[in-house]
Copies of this chain bind each other. A is one copy, B any other.
Amino acid sequence: MIDKTVRSMAEAMEGIKDGATVLVGGFGAVGQPNALIDGLIEQGAKDLVIAANNAGVGHVGLARLMELGRVRKIICSFPRSSDPVVFETLYRAGKIELEIVPQGTLAERMHAAGAGIPLFFTATGVGTKMALGKEVRDIDGRQYVGEKSLPGDVALVEAWEADRWGNLTYRESGRNFNPVMAMAAKLTIVQAQHLRDLGAIDPDHVHTPGIFVNRVLHVPYGDPTGF
């Protein structure tokens, strides 16, 4: 029997290594795998490269992971937040590397990694700092920048429903980066609000098929504001 559900956070986090590239889902507080981020804090891996849309808020979650000195580099589109003090302090002190990526390019670089496309061209960023050091070419009269895929060693994903095969659904704007991160990582770990029996999720409505998922932890944490 295929059973991707795990019983404990320790089991969910097993094997995440120092130096790993970790893709962290969520946009704002919605669809953010808060329990798994706390699990990663507990687990202890360091020298991490984090790819996420933001760079943490306050002193919890990603901000806490950074504050503990465990993040070598962050790849994101928008390091600002309502309270980005941890990131900004580390960044000004030269204690964390930053790679800024336009939000759509960030999403597509992970989608491409999941889809076996190592390089693609986009008009986003042409003529800006984002194109520095990258290949720019003319295709049918318009300029485009070459962007490389962004694969992860690990993805931390938040889902609404999951089953033991790892099929997932997301709720409303909680979908955001989660599906592309699930595709892009070697080890995809999911925290799910609801565990469903196999077959209970309509096969036409599965958002992330189980082929992209390795581990599922049931975390019925409530709504995104409850964290």
Contacts and interface: CB of A to CB of B under 8 A. Distances in A.
Interface of A: 108, 112, 115-123, 139-140, 142, 144, 148, 169-172, 175, 202-205, 207
A160 to B, nearest CB: 9
Q: How many identical chains are in the complex?
A: 2
Contacts of A140: 118
Given A172-B203, A204-B170, A204-B205, A116 B120 contact: no
Given A108-B115, A115-B108, A204 B171 contact: yes
A42 to B, nearest CB: 32
A161 B193 CA distance: 29
A169 B144 CA distance: 33
Nearest to A137: B119
> Residue among A112, A122, A171, A204 with the most chain B CB within 10 A?
A204
A118 B121 contact: yes
Given A169-B204, A170-B204, A144 B118 contact: yes
A17 B144 CA distance: 30
Contacts of A207: 204
Contacts of A148: 139
Contacts of A118: 121, 139-140, 142, 144
A74 to B, nearest CB: 22
Contacts of A204: 169-172, 175, 205, 207
A124 to B, nearest CB: 8
